[in-house]
Each structure stands twice: as structure tokens, then as C-alpha cells.
Structure 1
Amino acid sequence: MTLSEADLIINPDGSIYHLNLLPEDIADTVITVGDLDRVGEISKHFDSIELKKGKREFITHTGYLGKKRITVVSTGIGTDNIDIVFNELDALVNIDFETREIKKELKSLNIIRVGTSGAVQPDIPMGTILASTYGLGFDALMNYYIQQMSGDEHSVLDSIKSHFSHIKGIHPYLTAADSTLLQTIGKDMEKGITVTAPGFYAPQGRQVRAKNAVPNFISQLNSFKDGTNRITNLEMETAGIYALAKTLGHKALSVNAILASRVKFEFSSEPNKIVEKAINMVLERI
């Protein structure tokens, strides 16, 4: 199948539309961050940097840590941006830009998110580095994709749907982390289900001026339990990363720097130190 110019937009210089990258620009191991300033905070640890490119909120650095080639790319906030970044990363490795056809041999990327998050359980302190066992999406991204789920994913999602059945209008989706990445990079980290919200304020249970339609949202999250599975934290990208990575045949893990305790109404006074801790842990294991 030949992809149309409207479906796959390629810039005049041969780069993919939003990321502004050429196929040779990215490594097989990709670290994603939400904050564009965090790209440099990771690449400063590289032994060499071969490429720096940027367009809009999408900043990319590719270089070497020892003999390991790594790409770091900023996604911006939210699963709408994850949709752009993951489809374009996949296109860079799995579509021939000359013929506009899908390659016969597909490549699987290792993708690790290093991001920030808030804990919803009282026993998870600020400063914790947490690996997401599952990404639970309360956003609408996967309404537009056909998703293949495992038996375990179906079972946990059924329990989640039952627990949140009283909340109107949400259609949650669930995807597990890649087991190999979870066992290697996330091996001794705190673990749990990460909820991905479609916003930062009311969709994450915050109350400022606008009235929340879902009262006591945090307590509804932290009261969920299915065997050993519990909801541990909230953010805005993980579920989209896990779901699209699996749909496209890539491996993904989300590593969360816990900056806030949502049950204790606290926010860390040293957020940069916690993020740096997460970065170092990932780079040591990658």
C-alpha cells in the first residue's frame, strides 16, 4: 500500500512533518520527555552528541553514551502530542520515504519515558522513582485505534471499569509495560498502575475556581485494588505511550519522578533533584 501525501506528510528536505527528523537521525533506543528543556538535561550525560534538531515543542538530541546510541525527544504535554510523536517515530523506522510504502521487515524501538507525576497513595513519598506496570488512559486517544489486548489486560480493565462505572462519559483503556524493560530498567523501582488524565486540573482532581464534576477523584483512584494491582500515580502521557507502542510493535516503559503527594497536598521543594535521580537511574540501566 502506498501512503498518500495527506496521510504521511514529508517535508521538502525529506524529514517527517512535525519532528523534522530524517530516518537516519534516530537511534533504536529512544527516551521521551514532556519538557523540551529536559532533553538537554539528559544529553549532557552523553559522551558525544551527533545531532540536535527542533521544531515547535519537539526537540531531539541523538548521541552516544559509551557505545550505546540514544535519541532523546521532547513530546510536549498530553496524549494528543504522543499520537504525533509515536506515529512519526514509527514512520521513520518502518516506512520507506522514497516509495511511501511500509517496509517488509519492521523495526521495534525501545522507548523509555522519563517524566514527572503525582502519587495518589499515602505510602509513596515524594522523591520516589516509579515504573508504571500499566498505563490506564482516561483520555480519548485509543477510541480511534484498534487495540489488541492480552487476557491479563482485559481482566484488570474489567475490574477498573466496574470500579469507575459511576463516572459518566469515560471509556478507559489499559496497556501493560513491556516486560523486559520493566524487569531491567524498572527492576527495583516502586511499581503500580499509572493513570493518564486528559488535563492537569479537574481531570486530575484539582480544585481551583471551576467546579469539579467528579468529586473525591483522588480517593476513588487510590481505593482501587485488583489482586496486587493498585493505582499509584497520575500524569498525562503514559497510557498513550504504552497503547500506541504496543499497537505499532514497539517496547515501552514509563519511569515517573514523583514530585507531589496528592493525598497529603504536598509538592516537592526540590523537583529538579528528583528528576535528575530518575534520569541517572535510567541512563545507568539503559
Structure 2
Amino acid sequence: MKISESDLIINPDGSIYHLNLLPGDIAETIITVGDPDRVGEVSKYFDQIEFKKGKREFVTHTGYVGKKRVTVLSTGIGTDNIDIVFNELDALVNVDFETREIKKSLTSLNIIRVGTSGAVQPDIPMGTILASSYGLGMDALMNYYVHQLSPDEQLLLDDVKTHFGQLKHINPYLTAADDGLLHTIGKDMIHGITITAPGFYAPQGRIVRAKNSVTDFIGLINSFQRNQHRITNLEMETAGIYALAKVLGHKALSINAILASRVKFEFSNEPNKIVEQAIKMVLERV
């Protein structure tokens, strides 16, 4: 069946609607960052840059690290943007833009997020580079997709739902990292469950002027523990990345530069240095 023009929008130049990329523009190894300005902070370490493109918050550089072709792409903030980016990345490699049909032979991308995050456990110091073993979504994205869980994911999610049972209006979802990427790119790092929130302030337990509906959200988060699993950090993209990667047949890993301690109420005075360390570690391991 052909995919309709309204379901998959292709620009007059043959590029995908939001990302403004052509099939063939992206490598099979993709590094995602939230901030468009961070794309250049990654690609400056490339041995060769093939091209640069940008539209809205979506900036893309493709080039080579040694002989390996790599793309770095900014997603912007939040799982609403992840929905756009992952569906369009998948279409670029798995849909024939001429016939608007799904290709018979599908491509599985390796997608590594390098992002910033805040720790919710007191023993995780600022400056830590952490790999997300699971993404736990507190947003609504996966309510709109058929999402099959493994037995291990289902058991852990059942425990999560019991622990967060007081949050009647939230329907969490949970997906594991790709095991191969977790134990290659994420080797020697602290591993833990990463919560993905649908906002930066009250949805992450911050209090400025507006009153929060959930009291002591950080305390609720960091008190969860099941066997070796605990929640380690908070951010805004990982769960959507993991869930959509699994739905679409891609491999994903989230690497988190810990810039804040949410239990000690501290923020790093050298955030750029920590992010640069995470970028270098990922590029050395891809």
C-alpha cells in the first residue's frame, strides 16, 4: 500500500518535511543532541564533514570519524520532537520516496542520544556520564502507538505502576536500551532507569511560582528500587527514543551528562566541560 501524501509529507525538493533531509543524507550511526548549537560541538571532532543542513530546530551534520560515516542531528526538546525525528529518520531509510511504499529490505539504525540530565540519587555526583538501561516515560507519547513489551520490561513496568499508583492521571511506559549498545558504548558507565518528563519545571519536581500537584516528586522517584533496578536521573527525551526505536526496529542508547543533583539542589559550574566529555566518550566508542 502507498503511504498518502498527508501521512508522509515530502518537500518539492524530495526531502522529508521537517528534517529537510534526502534519503542517503544520513548514516546508519546517528548521534542525537537536543540543542542545535551542540551539533557543531560534536562534528568538530569529525575527520571529514560531508554536509551540513538545517531547518527549524533540526540541524544535521554528516561526516566521518575515521572510516565510519556518522550523522549528528539536533532534536530540540521533548518527546513531541522525538516523534517527528524518529518517524522521519525511519522513513528516510525504510520508505521508497518515489513509490511511497515501505521497502522490502529494512534498515536498522544505531541511534545514540548525548544529552544533559539531573541525578535523583545522592551517590551520583555531578560530572557523571550515565547510560540509561531503561527509559521510563511520564509523558503521553506511547498512548498513540502499539508498543509490545518484553517479559522483563512488563514485570518492571508493573512494579513502577504500583510504586507510582498515587499518580492516577499518568500512564507510564517503559522500554529497555539496546543491550549491544549498552554494553559497548555504555560500558564502564553507571547504568540506571531514566525518567522522561513532559516538561522541565513541575513535571520534574521543580518549584518556582506555580504550585505543584505532586508533592515531593523527587522523593517518590528516588525511593523506587526493584532488585538491581533504581531510578537514577530525569530528562525529557530518552523514553520516547527507546520506545519508538523499538517500535520501528532500530537500536538506541541514551548517554546522560549529569549537570545537576536534584537531591542536593546543586547545578554544575562547568556544564560544557561535562557535555564535551560525554561527546568524546561516545565518538571514541562508535
* TM-score, structure 1 as length reference: 1.00
1:275 maps to what in 2? 275
Deviation of residue 168 (structure 1)? 2.1
Instruction: Report the secondary structure of 2:183's partner residue.
Output: helix
Give the ranges of 4+ consecutive aligned residues of structure 1 lying more than 4 Å apart after TM superposition: none
Instruction: Report the secondary structure of 1:152's partner residue.
Output: helix
1:257 maps to what in 2? 257
2:157 maps to what in 1? 157
Instruction: Report the secondary structure of 1:23's partner residue.
Output: coil
Following the alignment from structure 2 to structure 1, what is the Cα–Cα distance between the partners of residues 280 and 54? 24
2:81 partner amino acid: N
Following the alignment from structure 1 to structure 2, what is the Cα–Cα distance between the partners of residues 124 and 55? 37
Write the deviation string for residues 244-274 of structure 1: whole angstroms up to 9, x where unpaired: 0000000000000000000000000000000
Q: Which runs of 5+ in 1 are unaligned?
A: none
Following the alignment from structure 1 to structure 2, what is the Cα–Cα distance between the partners of residues 51 and 28? 15
Following the alignment from structure 2 to structure 1, what is the Cα–Cα distance between the partners of residues 51 and 88? 18
Map 1:178-217; keep pairs closer than 5 Å: 178-217=178-217
Deviation of residue 167 (structure 1)? 1.2
2:26 maps to what in 1? 26
1:277 partner amino acid: Q
Instruction: Report the secondary structure of 2:64's partner residue.
Output: strand
Matched, 1:104 2:126: no
1:59 partner amino acid: V
Following the alignment from structure 2 to structure 1, what is the Cα–Cα distance between the partners of residues 140 and 96? 30
Give aligned pairs, total: 286
Instruction: Report the secondary structure of 2:155's partner residue.
Output: helix
Map 1:9-20; keep pairs closer than 5 Å: 9-20=9-20
1:242 maps to what in 2? 242
1:223 maps to what in 2? 223
Instruction: Report the secondary structure of 1:3's partner residue.
Output: coil
1:65 partner amino acid: V
Write the deviation string for residues 119-148 of structure 1: whole angstroms up to 9, x where unpaired: 000000000000000000000000000001
Following the alignment from structure 2 to structure 1, what is the Cα–Cα distance between the partners of residues 16 and 166? 42
1:66 maps to what in 2? 66
2:175 partner amino acid: T
1:35 maps to what in 2? 35
2:168 maps to what in 1? 168
Write the deviation string for residues 177-208 of structure 1: whole angstroms up to 9, x where unpaired: 00000000001001100000000000000000
Following the alignment from structure 2 to structure 1, what is the Cα–Cα distance between the partners of residues 168 and 99? 46
1:21 partner amino acid: L
Instruction: Report the secondary structure of 2:277's partner residue.
Output: helix
Following the alignment from structure 2 to structure 1, what is the Cα–Cα distance between the partners of residues 56 and 133? 31
